[in-house]
Amino acid sequence: MHPSPRFRETDPATLLARIAAHPLGIVMVNGERAPLAVHTPVIVRLEGESPVLRFHLSAANPVTARLLAGAAATLVFTGPDAYISPDWYGDVPDQVPTWNYLSVEAEGEVTETGREGAAAFLDDLSAVFEAGLSPKPPWTRAKMKPAVFEALLNGIRAFEMRPSRLEGISKLGQNKTPEMRAGVITALEDLPGGAGIAAAMRALD
């Protein structure tokens, strides 16, 4: 987490929307000798106003063993990002390169859902992402043999986190003048992959 408070993002709706837009998270836990980490897609369910972050891992993954043993976890998500050249600020001396980015960190205890919960999670996971492929008819597990699906369930574990901490970073040049940010936005919009962070910067002004 960036130490500067001017970049800190704490609005839950903003952070959950960021997770939904960039759902591939990193699950991090403490290992015996070093931290352990694994990527996995995450979907969000709301219980009232409280978020529940849902994900699954291979049963054989070392992170899974740590979670089943009761380890707390941190989930990390990264949104759009880009290198920022000092040349884009215009005729402003003594500037240095930096990196602008959006991120989210969620921290908390994790519980396993059990086999029925894992099946429900996989249904919900595919439904969320298949919906984004419309007008293609959505894939469902009805297209699988039940025995094959049951065998698949043997190899995974599904988990839920109710975060005790949910924070993010929106590092978008808040420490620069509007004129300097405008130069960066113009440059980013001309670069492949730059539109996302440029749009986030433009929303500041």
Mean pLDDT of 149-167: 98
Mean pLDDT of 128-149: 97
- Sorting pLDDT into bands at 50, 70 and 90, what band is 132? very high
Cα separation values, 25 from 8, 22, 55, 137, Å:
19, 8, 9, 27
Structural domains of the chain in order of their starting residue, each with its CATH number: 5-84+97-175 (2.30.110.10)
Nearest to 158 by CA among 108, 120, 131: 120
pLDDT at 155 over 90: yes
Look over the chain and give the mean of its residue pLDDT values, rounded to a whole number. 96
pLDDT at 1 over 70: no
pLDDT at 3 over 80: no
At 154 the pLDDT is 97
DSSP strand pairing (73-84 vs 24-30): antiparallel
At 2 the pLDDT is 72
Mean pLDDT of 90-109: 97
- Sorting pLDDT into bands at 50, 70 and 90, what band is 205? confident
Q: Fill in the amino acid letter for 118.
A: A
Q: Are 167 and 103 in contact (CB under 8 A)?
A: no
Angstrom distance (rounded) from CA 195 to CA 94: 26
For residue 157, give the 3-state DSSP assignment.
strand
pLDDT at 50 over 90: yes
Q: What DSSP line would sit under 2-14, residue for residue?
A: -S-GGGEE--HHH
Whether a cis peptide bond, with omega within 30° of 0, leads into 135 is yes
